[in-house]
Structure 1
Amino acid sequence: MSFVNSLETMEGRVEGRDNVNAHPISGFIHKKVPTLLVVARLRYYELLAKSPGEVCSFKRYANLKEQSHVDDLEAGKEMVNLDKFFEDVENVKEEMKFVEKVYKKLQEANEECKVATNAKAVKDLRARMDADVEQVLRRAKVIKGKLEALERSSVAHRNLPGCGPGSSADRTRTSVVSGLGKKLKDMIDAFQSLRATMSSEYKETVERRYFTVTGEKADEETIEKLISSGESESFLQKAIQAQGRGQIMDTVKEIQERHDAIKEIERNLLELHQIFLDMAALVEAQGQQLNDIASNVKRASSFVSQGANELVVAKEHQKSSRKWTCIAIILAIVLVLVILLPILSTTVLRP
């Protein structure tokens, strides 16, 4: 059973518990446990949003959010229900997991394509890879739509009482979406790397096939023309004349299939890359909001600290002022006594 299911089971048991007012302690538990479960769910989803290299990036928000939850509990405030938000986040994460699986399948297919030696094998692999890339494109568009829905939901959520910018719930939503953005960036980098690898390996394969057929090492210009046009037959005329058309045509077809495959996959991967960039820009905008909030909190903290220092200085001035006031009063009393004593003495001694 997953951690989420365990929490849901606990929540169900708490909600279905009878006679909670039979004892003061049981009433207290029934009142507090649901709130504590919400806090546990918040922490769980924050951890899910992290990848191994992202723990440090979330650390600066963790203390702030934990303290905010503690403040809310101590003040007796009711926690905002974020279950729908976390459900939407889970859906996005599931879509991302599917994309990661397809990415691994593309890697495996590319490895198979490297060792394929005939046009039919390359054609079959091409069809498989095209289908996989099409799946990724569809899922990427779904992810983009869900991220846009999360953004709209966050904007609407900020209009609710107690949920405005800088609130505990708003910081939680923004930081979790920021975690999704980091995963998204990793996916962008992975597919970009795959596209570059496939292009480089295609070039190496064409070079090897050219050398196998002609016995000559092709210069860079010839390879670039072969890659850009895919018309390998015109570049292999000498070999065709020497070895016969039938023996060379399999290689020609294989090179043509590889050319068509790499061009189609590159086109789809470029489209996918643009979708990823759009999603990254959307998530980055939300992350900037969190940075602005953190900056405002830091600035406010600085003002509070400065105000506290000024209060200390004011108190010191007040103490000093009181001290000199007391000294002035004492001096005035002494002066009065000095003036009055001779007069009083003369009056007393007069017959």
Structure 2
Amino acid sequence: MRDRLPDLTACRKNDDGDTTVVVEKDHFMDDFFHQVEEIRNSIAKIAQYVEEVKKNHSIILSAPNPEGKIKEELEDLNKEIKKTANKIRTKLKSIEQSFDQDEGGNRTSVELRIRRTQHSVLSRKFVEVMTEFNEAQTLFRERSKGRIQRQLEITGKTTTDDELEEMLESGNPSIFTSDIISDSQITRQALNEIESRHKDIMKLETSIRELHEMFMDMAMFVETQKNCHAVSHLGKGQHTLQACCPPTPKKEWLFQKPADGEQLLRLSESGAAVTAEMTSSNVCRKPKQM
């Protein structure tokens, strides 16, 4: 007798004459959502690390000569954030690269839209948490620079903001103290703090520069300097070039943000924009909403 079980499993008729079709579960989408959850958890982990970084910044700024343990913890947190961020970046880029393949493959348009939407949401969240990290580092740098300026005033050396920046960019902490001679305990403490803060800033410069390079590699920022750049937005599944930025002599960076409240963002697609003024050292400062 012929085995009819496969036929009955694939197509069954009930008493009303209706037909039930058994559809195989799409394991591809299951794997995709598992990857989405992993990325989401990693972003949440970075957000937690950033809060700990801020606490350590406050402790370091509140003490003239903070314990070495606190600075070691801060350095470990910064390394962990960068390591996790690089993993997220790799996964997001891998997902993005798969879109072109899927458009010419057997994936349905619904699945592709779902994946694009998830990718956009994750990208936006990633940009937000890394921007918060960058802002925390930039604020710490500015406050550390302010402490250096005050300690220099204590030793009798008055500097302008431009002079202080030039000193910091030299990379040599002795430039602060070479022409200051005093045997008083207060001044010696001030000199020690100046050198300590300078070392902190040098580490920050490297960290911020690495972060900037990572964003550039992901094309999360769009540089506009004396050029018009179009900003794309999401609408009915189409990416349309819409906005054009006016030419400016300053460097600007555009964060990509959702349009029409959709809360969507691609690594290289956007809606409205957030700009940040750049310094000569390519350090992102003072972000503001447009």
TM-score w.r.t. length of structure 1: 0.52
How many residues are aligned here? Answer: 216
CA change 1:290–1:161 in 2 (3 A) is farther
The answer (yes or no) to whether the contact 1:188–1:273 under 8 Å persists in 2 is: no
The answer (yes or no) to whether the contact 2:154–2:187 under 8 Å persists in 1 is: no
Q: Deviations over 1:79-108 (max 9, x none)?
A: 785111111111111111111111111111
* In 2: Cα distance, 1:106 partner to 1:245 partner: 34
Aligned residues with identical type, % of pairs: 18
The answer (yes or no) to whether the contact 1:106–1:129 under 8 Å persists in 2 is: yes
Alignment-derived partner of residue 304 in structure 1: none
Alignment-derived partner of residue 73 in structure 2: 128
Deviation at 1:124, TM superposition (A): 3.5
- In the alignment, structure 1 segments of 5+ residues that lack a partner are 1-20, 36-77, 297-351
Alignment-derived partner of residue 234 in structure 1: 178
Q: Are 2:115 and 1:177 aligned?
A: no
Q: How does 1:115-194 map to 2 (within 5 A)?
A: 115-118=62-65, 121=66, 123-161=68-106, 163=108, 167-194=109-136
Q: Partner amino acid for 2:189?
A: D
The answer (yes or no) to whether the contact 1:211–1:217 under 8 Å persists in 2 is: yes
Q: Deviations over 1:309-349 (max 9, x none)?
A: xxxxxxxxxxxxxxxxxxxxxxxxxxxxxxxxxxxxxxxxx
Of residues 151, 158, 167, the one that matches 1:209 is: 151
Q: Partner amino acid for 2:83?
A: R
Q: Partner amino acid for 2:149?
A: E
Matched residue SS, 1:160? coil
* In 1: Cα distance, 2:160 partner to 2:234 partner: 53
Q: Partner amino acid for 1:102?
A: Y
Matched residue SS, 1:82? helix
Of residues 13, 31, 35, the one that matches 1:88 is: 35
* In 2: Cα distance, 1:152 partner to 1:84 partner: 16
Deviation at 1:115, TM superposition (A): 0.8
RMSD between aligned residues = 3.6
Alignment-derived partner of residue 205 in structure 2: 266
CA change 1:190–1:162 in 2 (3 A) is closer
Higher strand proportion? 2
Deviation at 1:155, TM superposition (A): 3.5
TM-score w.r.t. length of structure 2: 0.62
Q: Deviations over 1:15-56 (max 9, x none)?
A: xxxxxx8x879x99x979x99xxxxxxxxxxxxxxxxxxxxx
Matched residue SS, 2:106? coil
CA change 1:181–1:280 in 2 (3 A) is farther
* In 1: Cα distance, 2:107 partner to 2:138 partner: 48
The answer (yes or no) to whether the contact 2:149–2:159 under 8 Å persists in 1 is: yes
* In 2: Cα distance, 1:223 partner to 1:154 partner: 49
Matched residue SS, 1:149? helix
* In 2: Cα distance, 1:197 partner to 1:181 partner: 24
Q: Partner amino acid for 1:82?
A: M
* In 1: Cα distance, 2:111 partner to 2:131 partner: 31
Larger RCO: 1 or 2 (CA < 8 Å, sep 6+):
1
Q: Deviations over 1:296-320 (max 9, x none)?
A: 9xxxxxxxxxxxxxxxxxxxxxxxx
The answer (yes or no) to whether the contact 1:174–1:290 under 8 Å persists in 2 is: no
* In 1: Cα distance, 2:152 partner to 2:234 partner: 55
Q: How does 1:1-351 map to 2 (within 5 A)?
A: 81-118=28-65, 121=66, 123-161=68-106, 163=108, 167-214=109-156, 217-220=158-161, 223-228=164-169, 229-231=172-174, 232-237=176-181, 240=182, 244=183, 247-281=186-220, 293-294=237-238
Matched residue SS, 2:178? helix
The answer (yes or no) to whether the contact 1:140–1:272 under 8 Å persists in 2 is: no
Higher helix proportion? 1
* In 1: Cα distance, 2:233 partner to 2:101 partner: 15
Deviation at 1:254, TM superposition (A): 2.0
Larger Rg: 1
Q: Deviations over 1:188-238 (max 9, x none)?
A: 432332232122111210122123343x7544455345434422322422x
* In 1: Cα distance, 2:239 partner to 2:150 partner: 57
